[in-house]
Amino acid sequence: MAAERLAVGRRRRLWRRFAGHRLAMTAGWLLAALVLAGLVGPPLCRAFGLDGEAVDLFGRLAPASLEHPLGTDELGRDLLLRLLEGGRISLAVGLAGALLTAVIGTAIGLAAGYAGGRVDAALMRLTDAIIALPLLPLLIVLAAVDPIKLGLPAALADGGLASIWRIVLLVALFGWTTVARLVRAAVLSQKERDYVRAARALGAGPWRIAVRHVLPNVASPIIVATTLSIGNIMLTESVLSFLGLGIQPPLPSWGNMLTNAQELIWQAPHLAVWPGALIFLTVIAFNLLGDGLQDALDPRGDAGI
């Protein structure tokens, strides 16, 4: 019971500290609204017979109206419906990429920090080598590679869903370094603590100690780094989609919507303003949310409570 009361008290303190960060709270509500709109909006629109892929060449580039609240695009498709569907894709790429990045980085950082010695040296040199690579040009080259020529079946290599997973895998393959270094530093500070010595004295194996005891105590930097990386991954996806190497039509994303709008920027600026504004707001919101979580999870903040 005492342990449960301590855990409940700690969660309440964390919530009070996070709630005191007004920008982070505002960002959290904004992101919740965007996620809810992306999840609920497209199915709800389809239930009412509204189709974001319906082409109407006679109504192309129409201004905002009651029928089309944000206007239409170059093919007469409703821009609001396209933004809702594109938001779901862009947020899914950001969240999936961040989670996969966190898993890879956590595994490498935990192994390097707890094993030490040659394992630590080898993994950290690998991390340094990945950091030294020019990330964006490398991603552009790899995204341009045709998976069919690599031997993948056409059913798996073609289509919008395949482009989503390709972007997620590419970003995770080269984006885990920040999480790995943060986890390694946290593990190095934890593995000489008394609870680790007690677990060793009781006969627990090294990897059981690392996973069951050390890993939960280094969760804070993992959460913060994962939250901050979502915005960066969404920006990367937007850049690749803008270059035609990211999410492939017919799936919309905020990035490839900007690609379609670049030739009509003066004729129909709303086609670029809305997806660009949503990318900007979402990335800023994730960064503010990460800052708030960092302040709330900082153990030094208990001194002021």
- Per the CB < 8 A criterion, the answer to whether 124 and 112 are in contact is yes
Q: Give a yes or no: residue 169 inside a domain.
A: yes
pLDDT tens per residue across span 12-42: 777 788 777 788 899 999 999 999 988 888 8
Residue 78 φ then ψ, to 5°:
-65, 125
pLDDT (average), residues 164-191: 89
CA–chain centroid gap for 18, Å, is 20
Return the structure tokens found at 218: 């280094």
Q: Which amino acid, residue 244? A: G
pLDDT band at 148 (very low <50, low <70, confident <90, very high): low
Q: Give a yes or no: residue 200 inside a domain.
A: yes
pLDDT band at 8 (very low <50, low <70, confident <90, very high): low
Distance between CA atoms of 97 and 173, rounded to whole angstroms?
A: 9
pLDDT tens per residue across span 193-231: 888 888 888 887 888 888 888 888 888 888 888 888 888
Q: Give a yes or no: residue 43 inside a domain.
A: no
Query: Where do the H-state alpha helices sit in the chain?
Result: 2-19, 22-47, 79-115, 117-132, 135-144, 154-157, 160-175, 177-190, 194-201, 206-208, 215-217, 219-242, 254-261, 270-297
Q: Give a yes or no: residue 183 inside a domain.
A: yes
Q: Give a yes or no: residue 26 inside a domain.
A: no
pLDDT of residue 30: 92
Return the structure tokens found at 9: 């008290």
What is the number of structural domains in the chain?
A: 1
Q: Give a yes or no: residue 185 inside a domain.
A: yes
Distance between CA atoms of 199 and 208, rounded to whole angstroms?
A: 9
Q: Give a yes or no: residue 47 inside a domain.
A: no
The residue that leads in pLDDT, 111 or 146, is 111
Q: Give a yes or no: residue 74 inside a domain.
A: no
Say which CATH number the domain at 134 has: 1.10.3720.10
Give the domain extent around 93.
Answer: 87-297
* Mean residue pLDDT across the chain: 83
